[in-house]
Amino acid sequence: MIDALQDFTSSMPPLLQWLGVVAAGAVPFVESYFGSVIGVLAGISPPVAVAAAVVGNVASMLVLVLGAHRIRRRFAGDVRDASPKRLKLRRAFDRYGVAGVSLLGQTILPSQITATAMVSFGAPRNAVIGWQIVSIILWGAAFGTLAALGANVLSAG
């Protein structure tokens, strides 16, 4: 899937390639970190690639968090019906709070899923959104930097 997104982005006119990175960043499991890599490997400058991937990731996360917040008001989830990953995320949420799960949760599940789950657990919507944005920026910048350094090493060698 990442190869297809990279091919899609590379096939676009250079002035529009950032839109391909925005679209890639909106996809769960691609997010800001792989979206940044896709942009850098497509030849977009690292700051633009990271910014575009972050915008896509934040947009999709916001849609899901705001939707989950509305749904939570109507229905209360039954923890007994939760999947093992959801239970693991709930334990992490209870232990580390919104900030910890936002910053580290992307190692387990996409930000869209962790953010939506935290809101469904009753976490304050604005706190989830704020910490998710911080996390998305940090992960995107880290992977974009690594991709840029790797691309520089490959082009120098």
Contact present, 128 and 99 (Cβ < 8 Å)? no
* Cα three-residue angle 101-107-112, rounded to 5 degrees: 65
Give pLDDT tens digits along the chain (157 positions): 777 877 888 888 888 899 999 999 999 999 999 999 999 999 899 999 999 999 999 999 999 999 887 776 666 555 556 678 778 878 888 899 999 999 998 888 899 999 998 988 888 999 999 999 999 999 999 999 999 998 777 667 5
pTM of the complete model? 0.82
Q: What one-character DSSP code corresponds to residue 41?
A: H
Question: Which residues constitute the domain of residue 139?
Answer: 2-156
pLDDT at site 109:
87
Contact present, 115 and 132 (Cβ < 8 Å)? yes
Q: What one-character DSSP code corresponds to residue 124?
A: -
Total number of domains constituting the chain: 1
pLDDT at site 75:
67
